[in-house]
């Protein structure tokens, strides 16, 4: 709990004593009838509290005698027999170090009183659970106070920009958890490579990935796994995972295990029969060259946008060299014709969310510069779907991507996912040894 307390104290240094922060957590969602989805806590509330139950609200009051107040579910013996233990208000104080705790059912009565004389109300409610009530809360004192008493006219301010930019730079504890998530995923990706062969169903390999991350301490994936054979890989967020894998096609697997709320995000592309064809080799090596050139320049101070620019320059020239695009590099670059085959950006922050929060621009609107303890992905790809009749048939139905998880260090970078085979020879060697 000391880590969460440190974060609250750091936040207190950024806000004055006239401020109060309200963070509304998530509620559990219904899957069908009386069956609910597995609950996932709101990451911003968790970031400051470590609290992971549904229906929680955190109130933070800088400089107050009781700065951390938690609204959470009360103890309920019948509910706990059916659905698991609750911390209750006593647990909120003893286990999670709240200074005060109230049953969330009393929020209408108690939360407005916690605002006291403070007039800057920072609010974060990603699910909009109380957006219809917040103005009543902040105006209650003014509207119910006698005419000759002091009235507090409160401002409602967004809290997301503050907490999300705090989350960009990771603490040593966060980096350690991300590394454990990546380690579990590394074992899982290697297991998929060893098992892969024609005739298997995509879903079988998804199951292999899930089993292997569980064997290494990861309870679940942090996004729906993409296990896409052949032309399915040209759908960026394909998640049906129910097709049979054909000899001669590629398999793209984009999957990441989660460790204690922290994410990994790794993509590898491999030949289903264990051997890249000539065309597959040419396209795969092009994507690998792009990511390797981008990674090689990483260090504190590099402009974030340079990663994308580097990848696109390599891919554009490579597509020209292969005859998939026509014209000079300058013509292709100016017209952006390469984008029809590259489609997406080439990375995102990584942390509590797989697409982690935080601005990619500074306060002046300029691209962010890389800093020590940033963690993010780099993931260039090429996608040429079957219906693309502007290219030769030999290129069609190929979708491939290589994605690594990167930590920026004091002098350079660490590729956290480098242990997952990524070169053509490494992939073919692992798949060949598995057959033996």
Q: Return the pLDDT at 229.
A: 98
Within this chain, do residues 154 and 186 fall inside the same structural domain, yes or no?
no
Q: Return the pLDDT at 435.
A: 59
Q: Return the pLDDT at 143.
A: 95
Q: Which CATH number goes with the domain that contains 315?
A: 3.90.230.10
Within this chain, do residues 101 and 187 fall inside the same structural domain, yes or no?
no
Predicted TM-score (pTM) of this structure: 0.97
pLDDT digits (tens), the chain, 436 positions? 999 999 999 999 999 999 999 999 999 999 999 999 999 999 999 999 999 999 999 999 999 999 999 999 999 999 999 999 999 999 999 999 999 999 999 999 999 999 999 999 999 999 999 999 999 999 999 999 999 999 999 999 999 999 999 999 999 999 999 999 999 999 999 999 999 999 999 999 999 999 999 999 999 999 999 999 999 999 999 999 999 999 999 999 999 999 999 999 999 999 999 999 999 999 999 999 999 999 999 999 999 999 999 999 999 999 999 999 999 999 999 999 999 999 999 999 999 999 999 999 999 999 999 999 999 999 999 999 999 999 999 999 999 999 999 999 999 999 999 999 999 999 999 999 975 5
Within this chain, do residues 221 and 92 fall inside the same structural domain, yes or no?
no
Return the SS3 of 303: strand
- Give Cα separations from 279 to 196, 316, 342, 424 (angstroms): 20, 17, 17, 13
Within this chain, do residues 195 and 290 fall inside the same structural domain, yes or no?
yes
Within this chain, do residues 183 and 153 fall inside the same structural domain, yes or no?
no
Within this chain, do residues 308 and 363 fall inside the same structural domain, yes or no?
yes
Domain end marker among 166, 182, 200 = 166
Q: Return the pLDDT at 49.
A: 98
Within this chain, do residues 200 and 294 fall inside the same structural domain, yes or no?
yes
Identify each DSSP E strand in 82-131 by its residue range: 100-103, 120-124
Structural domains in the chain (count)? 2
Within this chain, do residues 50 and 156 fall inside the same structural domain, yes or no?
yes
Q: Which CATH number goes with the domain that contains 101?
A: 3.40.350.10
Domain end marker among 112, 144, 166 = 166
CA distance 226 to 400: 12
Within this chain, do residues 112 and 229 fall inside the same structural domain, yes or no?
no
Domain end marker among 113, 135, 166 = 166
Identify each DSSP E strand in 194-322 by its residue range: 220-221, 226-229, 250-255, 257-259, 262-263, 266-271
Range of the domain at 176: 172-435
Q: Return the pLDDT at 204.
A: 98
Within this chain, do residues 230 and 93 fall inside the same structural domain, yes or no?
no
Strands 266-271, 250-255: pairing is antiparallel
Strands 262-263, 257-259: pairing is antiparallel
Contact between residue 256 and residue 263 where contact means Cβ atoms under 8 Å apart: yes
Within this chain, do residues 157 and 269 fall inside the same structural domain, yes or no?
no
Within this chain, do residues 150 and 238 fall inside the same structural domain, yes or no?
no
In sequence order, the 6+-apart residues with CB closer than 8 A to the CB of 241 are: 202, 203, 205, 206, 225, 226, 227, 228
pLDDT in tens, 176-213: 999 999 999 999 999 999 999 999 999 999 999 999 99
């Amino acid at each position: 709990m000391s880590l969460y307390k440190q974060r609250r104290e750091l936040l207190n240094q950024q806000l004055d004593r006239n401020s109060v922060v309200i963070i509304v957590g998530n509620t559990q969602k219904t899957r069908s009838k009386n069956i609910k989805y597995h609950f996932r806590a709101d990451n911003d509330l968790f970031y400051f509290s470590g609290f992971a139950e549904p229906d929680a609200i955190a109130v933070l009051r800088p400089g107050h005698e009781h700065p951390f107040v938690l609204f959470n579910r009360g103890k309920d013996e019948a509910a706990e027999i059916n659905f698991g233990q609750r911390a209750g208000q006593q647990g909120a104080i003893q286990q999670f170090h709240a200074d005060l705790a109230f049953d969330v059912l009393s929020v209408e009565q108690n939360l407005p009183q916690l605002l006291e004389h403070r007039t800057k109300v920072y609010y974060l409610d990603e699910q909009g659970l109380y957006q219809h009530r917040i103005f009543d809360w902040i105006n209650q004192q003014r509207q119910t106070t006698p005419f000759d008493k002091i009235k507090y006219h409160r401002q409602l301010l967004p809290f997301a920009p503050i907490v999300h930019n705090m989350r960009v730079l990771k603490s040593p504890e966060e980096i350690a958890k991300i590394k454990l998530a990546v380690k579990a995923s590394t074992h899982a990706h290697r297991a998929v490579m060893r098992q892969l062969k024609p005739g298997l169903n995509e879903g079988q390999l998804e199951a292999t990935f899930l089993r292997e991350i569980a064997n290494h301490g990861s309870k679940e994936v942090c996004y729906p796994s993409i296990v896409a054979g052949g032309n399915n890989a040209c759908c960026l967020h394909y998640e049906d995972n129910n097709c049979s894998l054909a000899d001669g096609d590629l398999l793209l697997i984009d999957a990441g295990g989660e460790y204690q709320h922290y994410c990994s995000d790794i993509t590898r592309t491999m030949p289903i029969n264990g051997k890249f064809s000539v065309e597959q080799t040419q396209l795969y090596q092009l994507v690998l060259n792009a990511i390797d050139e981008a990674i090689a320049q990483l260090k504190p101070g590099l402009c974030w946008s340079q990663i994308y620019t580097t990848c696109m320059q390599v891919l554009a020239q490579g597509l020209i060299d292969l005859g998939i695009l026509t014209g000079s590099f300058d013509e292709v670059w100016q017209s952006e014709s390469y984008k029809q085959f590259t489609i997406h950006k080439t990375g995102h922050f990584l942390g509590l969310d797989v697409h982690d929060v935080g601005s990619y621009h500074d306060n002046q609107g300029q691209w962010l510069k890389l800093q020590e303890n940033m963690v993010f992905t780099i993931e260039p790809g090429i996608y040429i779907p079957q219906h693309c009749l502007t290219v030769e048939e030999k290129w069609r139905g190929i979708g491939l991507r290589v994605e690594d998880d990167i930590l920026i260090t004091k002098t350079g970078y660490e590729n956290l996912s480098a242990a997952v085979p990524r070169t053509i020879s490494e992939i073919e060697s692992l798949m060949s040894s598995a057959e033996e």
